[in-house]
């Protein structure tokens, strides 16, 4: 009697412990007999299905699960097969919906326990499925953005081997993604620029900032190359480590054509502004030549005076010729856009010569204290001259009653800074941030296009430099141009 009671209590304790363990499992667990009746369930299943233990235990599976589940998943037949074969069934998917509850998605497994009992284990993967679908949606969206972009968009590993290559890259280069995958990006760059591109990828390994540059992309199938503006950005993983590089490229062909047209238009505008001073400067040597020529026509002049008149004619013709040559050099179309070694001091002095006449007419003194005669930068001489010309003319226009235009040059190890300051009317505070915007102008209608400083900004960006302005209204303005130094 005591032994029998002990066994009964032991069994109850075991069942209590067993049920407690089942209730701690985060999955739904059902014990089912060979007649497909539910023997027991854990708390997780009751909560998920919104059922009670009383109206679940002892009922056939067909009354516990909705018929639509049983009909579409074949779970009943799988349970019967598991009883017959004693073989577990793993990783089957099904959806389950209790009344008033959104559809849930489960992975279920059937585990035979004994010849007349098995365990149905159901893992709720609804959230994982939702997140997976969200990830796929985001991936499809990003892929669509990349493929729809009109700019070249590619990614590389940390060494610069190409991983992805979008449709725009295929169209511009004539090479599909299979042809370039795994190859080094610099192999598709102009021969003279391969080493520079290698250095960019080396810099990306330890940098958190983007790098902007311009170079030609080879198009083997078209036997040529196209000028591209590139932006290299480091690609980070979840731990902030650089794992590759994202490269964005934009075809500059159309942009260069437009910029060339704008530059030529702006040059004509600048020539118009300078016309008054230039006309005055040319009239002077012409007047001297005319007077000397009249004296030469007389028979009574001495041989010495004859030579003096001839020398004056020659000197003033050379002076007029130099003025005209400078004008032609400035007005000539800047078709050459290849970067080369440029002496910045020489460019500044040549540009000052062009505006000196206009400055004299408006009683403006130009100061250029120079200690160095050579400061080398990488650039296009004609484009840099146009930048300085536009800035000088803006400064002159800001001093209608005269003043001082001072130019200073500071050199550092890796850069050179040119400051161009005037004593004019200055720039109002509200306009200081807008002066480099296209078509922004403070000139009266018909006297300015507002493209001058916008073109300057574009040219300086092309030279990998920066341009900014400082001003106090009524006290003048300073334009600060920074360029990389060779």
Return the structure tokens found at 19: 């049920």
Does residue 211 form part of some domain? yes
Residue 287 confidence (pLDDT): 80
Q: 464 and 386 in one domain?
A: yes
Beta bridge partners of 418: 409, 481
Q: Model's pTM, two decimal places? A: 0.43
Does residue 360 form part of some domain? yes
Does residue 20 form part of some domain? no
Q: What is the 3-state secondary structure (H, E, C) of the chain?
A: CHHHHHHHHHHHHHHHHHHHHHHHCCCEEEEEECCCEEEEECHHHHHHHCCCCCCCCCCEHHHHCCHHHHHHHCHHHHHHHHHHHCCCEEEEEEEECCCCCCCEEEEEEEEEEECCEEEEEEEECHHHHHHHHHHHHHHHHHHHHHHHCCCEEEEEECCCEEEEECHHHHHHHCCCHHHHCCCEHHHHECHHHHHHHHHHHHHHCCCCCCEEEEEEEEEHHHCEEEEEEEEEEEEECCCCCEEEEEEEEEECHHHHHHHHHHHHHHHHHHHHHHHHHHHHHHHHHHHHHHHHHHHHCCCCCCHHHHHHHHHHHHHHHHHHHHHHHHHHHHHCCCCCCCCEEEEHHHHHHHHHHHHHHHHHHCCEEEECCCCCCCCEEEECHHHHHHHHHHHHHHHHHCCCCCEEEEEEEEECCCEEEEEEEECCCCCCHHHCCCCCCCCCCCCCCCCCCCCHHHHHHHHHHHCCCEEEEEECCCCCEEEEEEEEEC
Which long-range contacts does 110-114 make (Cβ < 8 Å, 24+ apart)? Answer: 110/78, 110/79, 110/82, 112/82, 112/83, 112/86, 112/87, 112/88, 113/31
Does residue 14 form part of some domain? no
Q: 425 and 365 in one domain?
A: yes
Encode pLDDT of 76-115 as tens digits. 899 999 999 999 988 788 877 666 667 778 889 999 988 8
Taking alpha carbons only, the member of 342, 350, 480, 335 closest to residue 417 is 480
Residue 447 confidence (pLDDT): 39
Q: What is the pLDDT along the chain (486 residues), one digit of tens a residue?
A: 444 444 555 555 545 565 666 777 888 899 999 999 999 999 888 888 888 999 999 999 989 888 877 877 888 899 999 999 999 988 788 877 666 667 778 889 999 988 899 999 988 888 888 888 888 888 788 778 777 788 889 999 999 999 999 988 888 888 888 889 999 998 888 777 788 888 888 888 888 888 888 888 888 766 678 888 889 999 988 888 899 999 998 887 766 666 666 666 666 665 565 565 566 567 777 887 888 888 788 888 888 888 888 888 888 888 777 667 666 655 554 555 677 889 999 999 888 887 887 788 888 999 988 767 888 998 888 888 888 988 898 888 889 889 999 999 998 888 899 999 999 888 877 667 667 655 445 544 333 433 467 778 878 888 888 888 888 888 889 999 999 887
Q: 219 and 186 in one domain?
A: yes
Residue 116 structural domain: 25-128
Residue 419 confidence (pLDDT): 93
Does residue 3 form part of some domain? no
Instruction: Count up the domains in the chain and report the number.
Output: 3
Q: 269 and 237 in one domain?
A: no
Q: 419 and 292 in one domain?
A: yes
Q: 271 and 179 in one domain?
A: no
Q: 394 and 300 in one domain?
A: yes
Domain boundary among 68, 99, 128: 128
Q: 167 and 87 in one domain?
A: no
């Amino acid at each position: 009697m005591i032994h029998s009671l002990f066994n009964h209590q032991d069994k109850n304790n075991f069942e209590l412990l067993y049920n407690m363990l089942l209730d701690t499992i985060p999955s739904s667990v059902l014990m089912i007999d060979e007649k497909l009746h539910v023997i027991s369930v854990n708390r997780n299943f009751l909560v998920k299905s919104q059922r009670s233990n009383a109206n679940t235990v002892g009922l056939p599976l067909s009354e516990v699960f909705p018929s639509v589940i049983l009909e579409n998943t074949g779970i009943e037949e799988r349970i019967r097969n598991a009883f017959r074969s004693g073989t577990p069934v793993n990783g089957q998917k099904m959806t389950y919906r209790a009344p008033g509850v959104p559809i849930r998605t489960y992975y279920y497994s059937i585990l035979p326990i004994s010849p007349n009992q098995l365990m149905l284990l159901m893992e709720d993967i609804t959230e994982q499925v939702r997140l997976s679908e969200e990830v796929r949606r985001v991936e499809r969206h990003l892929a669509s953005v990349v493929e729809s972009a009109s700019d070249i968009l590619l990614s590389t590993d940390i060494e610069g081997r190409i991983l992805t290559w979008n449709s725009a890259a295929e169209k511009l280069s004539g090479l599909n993604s299979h042809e370039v995958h795994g190859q080094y990006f610099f192999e598709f760059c102009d021969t003279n620029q391969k080493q520079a591109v290698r250095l960019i990828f080396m810099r990306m390994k330890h940098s958190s900032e983007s790098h902007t540059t311009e170079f030609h992309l080879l198009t083997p199938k078209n036997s040529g190359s196209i000028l591209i503006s590139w932006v290299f950005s480091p690609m980070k993983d979840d731990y902030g480590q650089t794992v590759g590089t994202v490269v964005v490229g934009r075809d500059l062909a159309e942009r260069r054509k437009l910029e060339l047209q704008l530059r030529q238009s702006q040059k004509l505008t600048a020539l118009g502004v300078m016309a008054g001073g230039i006309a005055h400067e040319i009239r002077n040597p012409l007047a001297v030549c005319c007077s000397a020529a009249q004296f030469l026509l007389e028979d009574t002049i001495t041989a010495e005076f004859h030579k003096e008149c001839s020398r004056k004619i020659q000197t003033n013709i050379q002076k007029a010729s130099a003025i005209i040559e400078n004008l032609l050099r400035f007005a000539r179309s800047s078709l050459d856009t290849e970067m080369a070694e440029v002496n910045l001091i020489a460019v500044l002095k040549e540009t000052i010569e062009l505006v000196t006449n206009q400055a004299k007419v408006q009683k403006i003194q130009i100061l250029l204290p120079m200690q160095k005669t050579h400061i080398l930068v990488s650039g296009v001489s004609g484009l840099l001259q146009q930048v300085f010309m536009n800035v000088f003319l803006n400064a002159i226009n800001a001093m209608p009653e005269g003043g001082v235009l001072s130019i200073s040059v500071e050199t550092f190890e890796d850069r050179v800074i040119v400051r161009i300051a005037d004593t004019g009317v200055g720039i109002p505070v509200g306009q200081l941030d807008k002066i480099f915007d296209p078509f922004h102008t403070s000139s009266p209608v018909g006297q300015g296009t507002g493209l001058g400083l916008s073109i300057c900004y574009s040219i300086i960006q092309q030279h990998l430099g920066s341009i900014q302005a400082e001003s106090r209204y009524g006290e003048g303005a300073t334009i600060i141009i920074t360029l990389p130094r060779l």
